[in-house]
Structure 1
Amino acid sequence: MKLGVFVARVFKDLPFEEMLDFVKSWGVEAVEFGTGNYPGDIFVKPAQLLADGGKQKGFLHAVESRGMFISAFSVHGNPLHPNRTIAREHHQTLIRTIDLAQQMGVPVVNCFSGNPGAPDSTLYPNFAYLYWPPEYPEILQWQWEQQVIPYWREVGRYAAQRGVNIGIEMHEGFTVHSPADVLRLREAVGEVIGAGFDASHLWTQGINPVEAVKILGFAGAIYHVSTKDMIFSEANMNLYGVLDPKPMDQPGFRSWYYRTIGYGHDLKTWADISSALRMVGYDYVLNIEQEDPLIDGLEGFTKAAGNLRGLIIRSPLAEK
């Protein structure tokens, strides 16, 4: 496995090549770039690179000449949004990103599954994962059968024809937010669909990431791994519960919030995740993603890099 980093807003104040030199100095071998929608497109603007082969070559040279490679593009959005203007914009950015990934030899595009509304909803998504009252299961069935599966069958076919895999991040608030959801969509669409694995969003749902790695990994359904930690505040959790809508920049009042590697769960837990990934045959990138509200982004990156470098297993498995 190799150490990677997701370069988005945290690195926005650094010029492109200065940013590359900075992450390289901390042992980074792979870089994931945002290409629009929620992550923004600070370093990669797909329309511009698609229109100019010279810019593409220059961009790749800047990365590869430093001994690094692009592990993935991130285009997280909601292409199923019931507001058709938002859905169309997010869909078009996703398609441009898939095209760019093909041209630049990037094997994975990471994104969200999206979340539709209800049959008569025109403005807002509807997260309908409740067993009762009875209208919720009816909405959820409609979302999967009429929106999620048909959309991803079409986009999955488009991506597969271009040799690009789709890494769906399991995130609260989107239709696909658990290992079971990833496997359901993969079964319906094909092997082009896998997981953009982020342990932090599983912990918030009470899912053990080590076991989730085994469930998805033995199915061959992990395409990219982000390392972002989180922590629960027991006092706030007892007051508000796990479903907490307060902003992430108010950690003192939230039931849980994101942390830098080493400041949430202990390093033994992250060693267990790394070992589980090795067990299932994952040998790609462990990607740093920094969203800790208590630590400056660049400092958080350096702390995470220092901790993760010691956990990555690099030697090949001995043959039995």
Structure 2
Amino acid sequence: MKLGVFMVLFGDRSFEEALDMAASRGLKAVEIGTGGNPGKAHCNPDLLLENKAAREQFKKAVESRGLMISALSCHGNPLHPQKALAQQDHDDFVKTVQLAELLEVPVVNTFSGCPGDHEDAKYPNWPVAPWPNDYQEVLKWQWENKVIPYWKEWGAYAEKHHVKIGLELHGGFSVHTPGTLLRLREAVGEVIGANLDPSHMWWQGIDPVQAVAILGKAGAIHHFHAKDTTIDPINVNMHGITDMQSYSLMQDRAWQFRTVGYGHDMKTWADIISALRLHGYDYAVSIEHEDGLMSIDEGFTKAVRNLQQVIMEDSAAEMWWV
């Protein structure tokens, strides 16, 4: 495995400074934003797609520091019912796929998107209960008319460009659990897989080790984010896991994101890393920082130190004792 970082953390630094930061901590991989929510601070597909020399310089900047690009990321909502918003996120995705092929990056990370509840809707609608039955009707319409048709078309496009799609299982989007990921994968094909982030499993009540096993057995993990979550045992009884309060209200929220090791102990993280290897994932472990109690530098540094204790970088040895 290769320990890496999602470079959106360092969006206020130049590309070269961000790469230096990653290399100085002994990392081996970087995940780079190319649009959508991660933004384009370090990579503008429009510029690199039309300029081969710029692409070569871009790759050299990464490789000369002993790094590789694990994924390009353009997390957005290409299924947004407002067509202008959907088009922007769709265009970012298409350009990112094109660029990933040219840069020989095997994975593009994004969200599945979430449609509205009918053709003229204005906002996304995320059904989370089977009753009243209206919600089942909305869910059926979304998957049959929007989610599956979109990803069938653009999954095939990604495959044609030799790129896998890592969908982050994230609340608020149609694909947010192992089950919804596998449903889409069954409909679309193996080009669809997870960008699995344990932090989003914990707050949904899903054990990340079991999520790794479920998805890993299906060969459906394309990328992995390293981020932690803590659940407040008092606040969760007040607000539930679908707490809609701002992330900034840290004393009141039911759960919040934390740096690796500050939500769950390192035995838990060792179990997650072991499960990844056991079930066939030996690629990047990409650190993401969204901890409201720590500075970016401190949170990043502590995540690196903690993960270095448990990540398995060497290939497994032969079982000489067998």
TM-score, structure 2 as length reference: 0.97
TM alignment of 1:1-320, pairs within 5 A: 1-8=1-8, 10-319=9-318
Deviation at 1:28, TM superposition (A): 0.8
Tell me the amino acid that sits aligned with residue 158 of structure 2.
Answer: A
Q: Return the alpha-carbon distance in structure 2 between the equivalents of residues 210 and 281 of structure 1.
A: 13
Q: Write out per-residue CA displacement over residues 160-200 of structure 1, whole angstroms, 9 at most, x where no aligned residue.
A: 00100000110001000000111111110000000000000
Q: Provide the identity percentage.
A: 52
What 5-or-longer segments of structure 2 have no aligned partner? Answer: none
* Residues 116, 126 of structure 1: 8 Å contact kept: yes
Q: Could you tell me which amino acid in structure 1 is paired with residue 67 of structure 2?
A: M
**5+ unaligned residues in a row in structure 1: which ranges?**
none
Contact 1:32 1:71 in 2 (8 A): yes
Which secondary structure does the structure 2 equivalent of 1:252 belong to?
A: coil
SS at match of 1:149: helix
Provide the rounded CA distance (Å) in 1 between the counterparts of 2:313 and 2:37.
33
Counterparts of 1:46 and 1:77, CA distance in 2 = 15
Give the letter aligned to residue 300 of structure 2: F
Structure 1 residue 314 displacement after superposition: 2.2
Judge conservation of contact 2:81–2:119 (CA < 8 Å) in 1: no
- Secondary structure, in 3 states, of the residue corresponding to 1:167? strand
> C-alpha offsets along residues 62-86 of structure 1, whole Å, 9 cap, x if unaligned?
0001110100011110000000110
Amino acid at match of 2:38: P
Q: State the AA in 2 paired with 1:6.
A: F
Give yes or no for contact 2:115–2:142 (8 Å, CA) kept in 1: yes
Note the C-alpha offset of 1:13: 2.2
What is the RMSD of the two structures over their aligned residues, measured on CA atoms?
1.0
Q: How far off is 1:294 after superposition?
A: 0.5
Contact 1:191 1:221 in 2 (8 A): yes
The answer (yes or no) to whether the contact 1:108–1:167 under 8 Å persists in 2 is: yes
Q: In 2, distance between residues paired with 1:63 and 1:46?
A: 16
18-27 or 260-269, larger mean C-alpha shift:
18-27
- Amino acid in the other structure paired with 2:33: G
CA distance in 2, matches of 1:73, 1:250: 31
What is the aligned length? 319
Q: Is the contact made by 1:27 and 1:309 (CA closer than 8 Å) also made in structure 2?
A: no
Q: Give every structure 1 segment of 4 or more consecutive aligned residues whose post-TM-superposition deviation is greater than 4 Å.
A: none
**309-318 vs 150-159, greater mean Cα deviation:** 309-318
Which AA in structure 2 matches 1:150? P
